[in-house]
Amino acid sequence: MKPIPILFAAIVAAAPFPAPAGEPFAAFDIAEDLSRFVSAQAPVFDDGLPAYGNPFITQGYIYPAGTLADGVEDTLPNGEPAFPELVIGAWTCDGYFVGDGMHTGTGAIVMTRQVFRFDDGDLLISHGPELADVGLPVTRAVTGGTGEYAHATGAMQQTLLGMSDGFGVRLQVELGGHGSRVGRGGQHRGCRRQGASGRPWACREASTPER
C-alpha cells in the first residue's frame, strides 16, 4: 500500500478546536510546565541563568490551537495544566542555549529538538531554532513522526506567545507555515471549508491508503 500524502495550509487560530477524529492536528499551542525544566550547573551567568552552551530539557502540555491566545496563563503554580480537560498531548523539548544564553533579548535563544506526543499515540518531531522575540514566527524542520505523521517532512512555524512569571514559555505551532508542504509530495486535492461556527479551517489531502 502507498500512503497518500497529507497537505497542510495556513491555519487561522481564532478559537480552540480539536481536529476531526482520525485527522492529524495542523496547529496547536504549547504550555511549558516549568517544574519539569532542568538545565546544567554550568555554564551559567553570575545571576545563575543558563549561558551559551548550557544543555537543558523541559516538558509541557499540548492544547488545541488558540487556547493560549491573549495572554492566557497556561499552567498552575504546581505545574498542572490550567485547562486539563483541553489537553491533547505532552510536549518534550531538549537542546542548548545559544546567542547570549538566557540573557538573549532578540533572535535565537536555543536550538532544540521537540517531541509532540498526542493522546491518540501519534508522535511528531521537530528540530530548529527558537526565538526570544514574542510574536515573531520562526521556521523549524519537521523531521519525522509516527501514526498520521509517519511520513511527515517539511516545515513548521513556531511563535512565542509569551512567558509565565517563571519564564515558562507559551508557544503556538503551525504545520506547513507559508503554505509549505508537510508530507511526501503530491498535488492538493481540496479543503475543508470554514464551518458556520467560524472555526479555523485546514486544506489537506485524505490519508486513506492506496492499494
Domain count, the chain: 1
pLDDT of residue 15: 36
Cis peptide before 137 (omega within 30 of 0): no
Res. 111: pLDDT tops 80: yes
The answer to whether 59 and 84 have CB atoms below 8 angstroms apart is: no
CA distance 138 to 90: 21
- Is residue 121 a part of any domain in this protein? yes
pLDDT of residue 24: 76
The CATH number assigned to the domain holding 124 equals 2.40.480.10
Tell me: the pLDDT tens digits for 169-184?
999 999 985 433 333 3
- CB neighbours of residue 109 within 10 Å: 23
- Is residue 169 a part of any domain in this protein? yes
pLDDT of residue 128: 98
CA distance 130 to 159: 8
**How confident is the model over 146-173, as a mean pLDDT?**
90
**How confident is the model over 70-98, as a mean pLDDT?**
92
Res. 124: pLDDT tops 80: yes
pLDDT of residue 22: 54
47-56, 136-145, 200-209: which range is least confident on average? 200-209
Domain residues for the domain of 153 are 23-184
Tell me: the pLDDT tens digits for 16-55?
444 544 567 899 999 999 999 999 999 999 999 999 999 9
pLDDT of residue 177: 57
Collapsed DSSP state (helix, strand, coil) of residue 209 = strand
CA distance 149 to 120: 12
**H helix count then E strand count, the chain:** 0, 10
Question: Mean pLDDT highest for which of 10-19, 94-103, 163-172?
Answer: 94-103
What separation in angstroms does the CA of 10 have from each of 1, 54, 90, 100, 108? 29, 34, 23, 32, 24
Reference 30, options 72, 198, 20; nearest CA is: 72
- CB neighbours of residue 141 within 10 Å: 13
- Is residue 10 a part of any domain in this protein? no
CA distance 66 to 13: 5
Res. 188: pLDDT tops 80: no
- Is residue 92 a part of any domain in this protein? yes
- Is residue 199 a part of any domain in this protein? no
- Is residue 117 a part of any domain in this protein? yes
pLDDT of residue 77: 85
- Is residue 205 a part of any domain in this protein? no
- Is residue 69 a part of any domain in this protein? yes
List of E strands, the chain: 2-3, 27-39, 55-64, 89-97, 108-118, 123-131, 138-145, 154-163, 169-175, 209-210
